[in-house]
Structure 1
Amino acid sequence: MALKVTRKCIFYTALAVIIGTAALAITLVLLLRDDEEIMKRYEFSNSDLVIQVQEQPDHRYILSLISDGIPIQRITFDHDFTDDSVLVSTDRGIRLEGNGQRIEITDIEDTDQFSFISITRKLRKGQIISDVVHTGDHVRGKEIQWYGGPEQMEQLYPVQKLRFEDYAYIPKELHSAAISERYWLNSAGVFLYVEKEVPLFIDQDEATLRLTAKKELPYYSYDEIFEFNYRIGVAKNAKEAHVKAVDKVLNQPVGIPDERMVRHPIWSTWVRYRRPISQQTVLDFASEIKERGFKNAQLDIDDFWESCYGSLVFDSISFPNVTELTEQLKEMGFRVTLWIHPFINKNCQPWYTEALSKGFLVKSHNESIGYNTKWWNSVENEASYINFNNPAAVEWFRLRLKELQEQGIDSFKFDAGEPSWAPADPDVEGSKVLSPTSLTTNYVRMCAELGPMIEIRTGWTTQDLPVFVRMIDLDTRWGMNNGLQSLIPTMLQMNLNGYPFVLPDMIGGNVYGDDILTKELFVRWLQANTFMPSMQFSKTPWDIDEESIELTRVFTQLHEDYSDYILQRMRITVTEGTPVNPPIWWLDPDDEEALKISDEYLLGEDILVAPVLTEFATTRDVYLPGGTWRDGNTNHIYEGGQWIRMYPAPINILPYFIKSTFQMR
């Protein structure tokens, strides 16, 4: 039965639609204002959650989610529906129509623990439609905190602190946004997920997150009809909402990465040697690591080992005998990985001409752009991007990687992959509504087929892959602007977007430009990394001093000591979808202090880590959520729900705390 509301109707209530065994209570109300203008309101609910749509004086409508009589989230449909708009009841919700737009608000699922609704509409090319998520509201007098959103160079946390303007929401190199899932979660237990087919742009300020759908670049912009769809989930708190989100929209990994990459450090040539490198350089590095008694997961041969960028062939002068090199490294106890990128420079012949002639490169719809792009190892218009939407190109690329494996290469470190590296307005195979992000999805899925030792740095709806996802390069500095203080917020952001197998980048950062890696910065970075899933070195402690070597031994051993627990938490992630390194509010989602903290993190649900992240500091304040905690350094027992002020932490101390009930399984 459908009910249409017009100006002639003053009041209608108590329409019940029976759906299966559940009763969906629907109320449509027209409210008489003082100036006798009529405003329309609609409510429906199954259990404790009421979904209300109410007209505003400017003929916009606000969707309100009301729990136990308290509004917990508002979204404004920022569109002028005009005075003759109508509300029509449907079997499971409401349809709002007016001024050329139709919005379907549908109840998908409703239980005592969880409610799930969808907002859908079809738009025509040329329409620009926004919905405004109110992020600055208070609920029951409490400030609402937000999580999720895009990976950023300045990774502020909680994420309502970020600012965006007309920001195309795809993975991109700009601001290091390699992970950009359309997922936001708040401390009131509400999550929002915008469907991957939507050509989404966002604006964000201190009070609102504006979601805009429009057919403009970088999206495919040639079809006449497109959709603006998203889903909203509501649970009793942020933890339960996120667990539901993993199940409903994000997915969880199907397996875990390589165990040795968890237990022992990865060693990379990148920061220490830059480019180019040579066979002797690699052997010398391996010898230094072995002579000092450090263990390894693998040794990564980074940029620049190729004969030219894109050949996937070792330079024969710098690497005269690759098979001999890999055999020597394996005799020394190393596995060997190789840095790989998805580009071919035009001067890389005959491989560039072969790829071009076979249609293996991404081409723009814009003929003046053609196949041209630029990356950090080329000049403008002197490179092209492999078309990973083309199955034949994928196979060509994969076969050349297998030839490298035949020379003793065990696995690969894959760089780039964001669609912004491709020529603008790409003309590629596959679903047009998924362009250009499908380039990332297909690249990453090709990478993951090569086994659990690989690492990638980007993703797009690829949370199911059992591989490490690396943070974008961090700079060698202390601050929030891509320095050490960005490390924990970035890890939390990745976990809360469904990427729990986080590979932090180089300990100490990448030492770009005028950056200087001091002993203090190196050691504090090492400590912060200790309870994360993996450790990676390029600058070595023996580049600094003897104390740095000894402290590196201490904290790599501490990491190894807890590696069984890290692996246990990874397996729980596979079965239950929970983060490996959650924020500390995970233990108490109603703790207002915990909800705001950005410089502490958990390993699983039993270990809290509070590293020193400020230069020259020898103490720090530590917040412990509820429970009984044992100090990992002193064995002192603390009751949670309180701050420990001025906790002593000289350079050899990492503050960490273990639940008193913790037992390694």
Structure 2
Amino acid sequence: MQIDPASKGFLAVFITVIVGTIAFFIASIFLDFGSNLVVQEIKFENSNFHVDIKRLESDKRYVIQVFNDKEAIAQEIYFGNDFGDKTVQVEAIDNGYKIFTTSSNEMFLTIDKDEKNFASLKVKRRVESKEKVLKDCLPLSNDEKVNWYGGPEQKNQKYPIQHFRFTDYAYITKELDSAGIMERYWFSSRKFFILIDYETPLFIDQNEHQICFTAKKELPYYTHNNVYEFNYKIGVSTSMKELHVSVINKYLGKPKGGMPDERLIRYPIWNTWVEFGREINESTVEVFAQTIVDHGYTHSLIDIDDFWEDCYGSGIVNTTNFGNLKALTSKLKSQGFIVGMWTHPFINKNCQPYYDEAVANNFLVKSHNGSTETSWWNSGTNEAAHFDFANPAALSFYRRRLEAIQRDFGIDVFKFDAGETSWYPTDPKFERDLDISPSQITRAFVEMAADFGNKLEIRVGWGTQNLHVLVRMLDFDSRWTADNGLKSLIPTLFQFNFNGYVFVLPDMIGGNQYGADVITKELFIRWLQASTFMPSLQFSHAPWHFHEDTIAITKKFIKLHADHADYILERFQLAIDKGEPVNVPVWWIDEDDYDAQTIDDQYLLGDKILVAPVIMDNATSRRIYIPSGKWQDGNSVTVYEGKMWIEDYPAPLDTLPYFIRIEEDEKQ
């Protein structure tokens, strides 16, 4: 068959077009978003969620793109230097895929949960060289504004948490920065979450653009072997509320075994610390209690805080200051008080012969070079040691001492102070649970404390959301500002709840009055108002030191708290049954309301009570956001229809702005 030259030219063009079309079609299967190669797609069977692993054409890096149910990107996660610009291979495994370059450089992605409204993946890597560092990074936002929640407890608490800045920050409980609650959980307004395993030696870096999670074998983690893992879970949901409650129920855990004693919720806790400091004795405690009663204040627990021992760490009552402690506790109980006593995990070197006995029995944390030396706020530099609660014998000894105090003196319960990992000697040596070192003592200390019942408080948490005890915010300063003052109270409340610690004990009303700080009448009253719809009230600075009207105002808000204690307890039970938080941000009512997503000076009790305290000095009014729904003013009969701002709500010193949501059946 002959083909003329003109036909040959036409045929050549035709073939070129066809081949080009086929090539484009084939390429379109593998390329997406600016010619980024899709290495693998992971689909969930029971939902519209899916995940793409892509290689970026721009810099050859690899990225996980997590898509929500509307086929939009919920989050990107950029693989770090373990893959870089290398060409990876993909191998199907049971319920997922292995992504690898070599046998020593591999990542496993497996479907963990696959439900209609919630889906999650496990990301797992094992490293066998302590010199190897892994880092994965998450952009905090792109063209669309994204808000983030969860994260660490900090002295300068941020909300939303994309405002934090960290550099090579070891993610463990520590005294520095008031980092008592350090769950490895973050979630965003795009209905995405990441939860990093406790066994990962985790450091974080965060700026305005991204947060990076680094795994590496460095102090303060255990460094005396080569193997470690970098594992985490990522996932999406159809709503932020659904996402968070699912993470609590499936991963972080919810309270079980009951809740804190009801009396600690209904009536105030009274503490001797701010009022008297270390200078306490039977007389000061007795007079303090009698004055509380004489002024007609309701009460639950009274804490004998600080120096009741003959030396720090002995566990022996100082008979000079407390010569008849049993009679004192008996009198306090007759006045209706639960009697508590402060305790701590330290022993000072000069506390003899008890220190030498603890050393001889191997009850103290040692470093790998054999030193027990550490320091705390009641010792000189390197003049103390820390009990080793990872040692069953030491833990049993410590527990027996407390039980003896209860038995011999009628003490009901203890206030357990400290517990953060940073109090140990550098490079501590433990005999077990090395994969979570050094945090195993934090967990062991808190779990031991919880054995003493449901009237106590702790101040640290690390995988202990299941416990039935009050968790106290770390010491606040007596100031208005956001750097550990009143303005950081509400953001800290959110941080506790979103990390699963819903039985929140706010710190002392008015703060701790350290240094040059002074608790003024205005600061005291505004702090009390801000705490009124939180789970518990704790007084230490006495309200009768101020003008007579402060006593009446204090009683007013103590009563308001007690009047709503039933609802607080109802929310406690909901947390136990369903994993719901107790106090939440305003967006909990309407999570797609962007105005509500960033409000850090209002909060909700459940989904029924909106609280907007005045937290600025010399202010007698404030701007308030009313979210979706109808809300009745708690101080009048006025009803507001959200979404709206009240520009100048009047709030003189005796007024707390709050609003009660009108339920649907009440509207009809």
Query: Is the TM value for this pair above 0.5?
Result: yes
SS of the aligned residue for 2:414 comes to strand
The CA deviation at 1:481 is: 0.2
Asked if the contact 1:28/1:40 (under 8 Å) is kept, the reply is: no
One-letter identity of the residue aligned with 2:49: L
Asked if the contact 1:31/1:41 (under 8 Å) is kept, the reply is: no
Deviation by residue 1:79-107 (Cα, 9 ceiling, x = unmatched)? 24444322333342332212652111111
Task: Determine which of 432, 437, 440 is the counterpart of 1:438.
Answer: 440
Aligned twin of 1:53: 53
Is residue 2:305 matched to residue 1:286?
A: no
Aligned twin of 1:356: 359
Task: Determine which of 252, 257, 260 is the counterpart of 2:260.
Answer: 257
Task: Determine which of 369, 375, 396 is the counterpart of 1:366.
Answer: 369
Alignment partners' CA distance in 1, 2:658 and 2:33: 59
One-letter identity of the residue aligned with 1:613: I
One-letter identity of the residue aligned with 2:362: G
Alignment partners' CA distance in 2, 1:418 and 1:33: 46
Pick closer, same or farther for the CA change 1:372–1:657 going to 2, 3 Å: same
SS of the aligned residue for 2:326 comes to helix
SS of the aligned residue for 2:583 comes to coil
Alignment partners' CA distance in 2, 1:87 and 1:55: 12
SS of the aligned residue for 1:290 comes to helix
Aligned twin of 1:382: 383
Alignment partners' CA distance in 2, 1:76 and 1:134: 8
Deviation by residue 1:451-504 (Cα, 9 ceiling, x = unmatched)? 001100001100000000000000000010000001000011000000000000
TM norm structure 2 = 0.92
| Structure 1 segment 264-343 matched on structure 2, within 5 A | 264-343=267-346
TM norm structure 1 = 0.93
| Structure 1 segment 15-414 matched on structure 2, within 5 A | 30-31=30-31, 39-46=37-44, 47-57=47-57, 58-67=59-68, 68-79=70-81, 80-98=83-101, 100-124=104-128, 125-138=130-143, 141=144, 143-254=145-256, 255-367=258-370, 370-406=371-407, 407-414=409-416
SS of the aligned residue for 1:657 comes to strand
Alignment partners' CA distance in 2, 1:342 and 1:60: 47
Between 1:85-94 and 1:465-474, the stretch displaced more is 85-94
SS of the aligned residue for 2:512 comes to coil
The CA deviation at 1:585 is: 1.1
| Structure 1 segment 574-613 matched on structure 2, within 5 A | 574-613=576-615
Asked if the contact 2:339/2:411 (under 8 Å) is kept, the reply is: yes
Pick closer, same or farther for the CA change 1:316–1:11 going to 2, 3 Å: farther
Alignment partners' CA distance in 1, 2:251 and 2:243: 11
Asked if the contact 2:74/2:236 (under 8 Å) is kept, the reply is: no
Deviation by residue 1:149-195 (Cα, 9 ceiling, x = unmatched)? 10000001000101100000000001000000000011111111000
Alignment partners' CA distance in 1, 2:527 and 2:433: 43
Identity of aligned residues (%): 47
Asked if the contact 2:583/2:604 (under 8 Å) is kept, the reply is: yes
Asked if the contact 1:179/1:458 (under 8 Å) is kept, the reply is: yes
Pick closer, same or farther for the CA change 1:534–1:307 going to 2, 3 Å: same
Asked if the contact 2:261/2:454 (under 8 Å) is kept, the reply is: yes
Deviation by residue 1:290-315 (Cα, 9 ceiling, x = unmatched)? 11011111110001111000011221
SS of the aligned residue for 2:79 comes to strand
**Which structure dedicates a bigger proportion of its chain to helix?**
2
Alignment partners' CA distance in 2, 1:551 and 1:499: 30
Asked if the contact 1:606/1:662 (under 8 Å) is kept, the reply is: no
Deviation by residue 1:109-147 (Cα, 9 ceiling, x = unmatched)? 222211111111111221101000111234xx4x11100
Pick closer, same or farther for the CA change 1:328–1:87 going to 2, 3 Å: same
The CA deviation at 1:12 is: 13
Pick closer, same or farther for the CA change 1:449–1:373 going to 2, 3 Å: same
How many residues are treated as equivalent by the alignment? Answer: 636
Aligned twin of 1:510: 512
Asked if the contact 1:11/1:30 (under 8 Å) is kept, the reply is: no
Asked if the contact 2:36/2:54 (under 8 Å) is kept, the reply is: no
One-letter identity of the residue aligned with 2:382: N
Alignment partners' CA distance in 2, 1:13 and 1:390: 64
SS of the aligned residue for 1:574 comes to helix
The CA deviation at 1:624 is: 1.4
Asked if the contact 1:146/1:187 (under 8 Å) is kept, the reply is: yes
SS of the aligned residue for 2:187 comes to strand
Structure 1 runs not aligned, ≥5 long:
1-9, 15-26
**Which is higher, the Rg of structure 1 or of structure 2?**
2
Alignment partners' CA distance in 2, 1:231 and 1:312: 43
SS of the aligned residue for 1:248 comes to helix
Aligned twin of 1:559: 561
Alignment partners' CA distance in 2, 1:602 and 1:448: 28
Alignment partners' CA distance in 2, 1:187 and 1:40: 26
Alignment partners' CA distance in 1, 2:563 and 2:32: 68
Asked if the contact 1:233/1:245 (under 8 Å) is kept, the reply is: no
Deviation by residue 1:221-248 (Cα, 9 ceiling, x = unmatched)? 1122111000012111211100000012
Alignment partners' CA distance in 1, 2:466 and 2:580: 13
Between 1:321-330 and 1:442-451, the stretch displaced more is 321-330
Asked if the contact 1:183/1:192 (under 8 Å) is kept, the reply is: yes
One-letter identity of the residue aligned with 2:100: E
SS of the aligned residue for 2:270 comes to strand
Between 1:63-72 and 1:249-258, the stretch displaced more is 63-72
Between 1:101-110 and 1:278-287, the stretch displaced more is 101-110
Between 1:110-119 and 1:502-511, the stretch displaced more is 110-119
SS of the aligned residue for 1:229 comes to strand
Deviation by residue 1:313-352 (Cα, 9 ceiling, x = unmatched)? 2211111111111112122222210000000001111211
Pick closer, same or farther for the CA change 1:114–1:318 going to 2, 3 Å: same
Alignment partners' CA distance in 2, 1:186 and 1:119: 19
Pick closer, same or farther for the CA change 1:13–1:241 going to 2, 3 Å: farther
Alignment partners' CA distance in 2, 1:331 and 1:392: 37
Asked if the contact 2:157/2:483 (under 8 Å) is kept, the reply is: yes
Asked if the contact 1:11/1:29 (under 8 Å) is kept, the reply is: no
Structure 2 runs not aligned, ≥5 long:
1-21
Pick closer, same or farther for the CA change 1:13–1:494 going to 2, 3 Å: farther
SS of the aligned residue for 2:363 comes to coil
One-letter identity of the residue aligned with 2:43: S
Alignment partners' CA distance in 2, 1:81 and 1:480: 40
Alignment partners' CA distance in 1, 2:39 and 2:363: 55
SS of the aligned residue for 1:211 comes to strand
Q: What is the RMSD of the two structures over their aligned residues, measured on CA atoms?
A: 2.0
Alignment partners' CA distance in 1, 2:36 and 2:334: 82
Alignment partners' CA distance in 1, 2:287 and 2:36: 80
Asked if the contact 2:38/2:52 (under 8 Å) is kept, the reply is: no
Pick closer, same or farther for the CA change 1:540–1:12 going to 2, 3 Å: farther
Alignment partners' CA distance in 2, 1:117 and 1:392: 40
Alignment partners' CA distance in 2, 1:503 and 1:51: 40
The CA deviation at 1:645 is: 1.1
Alignment partners' CA distance in 2, 1:427 and 1:492: 35
Alignment partners' CA distance in 1, 2:329 and 2:406: 10
One-letter identity of the residue aligned with 1:51: V
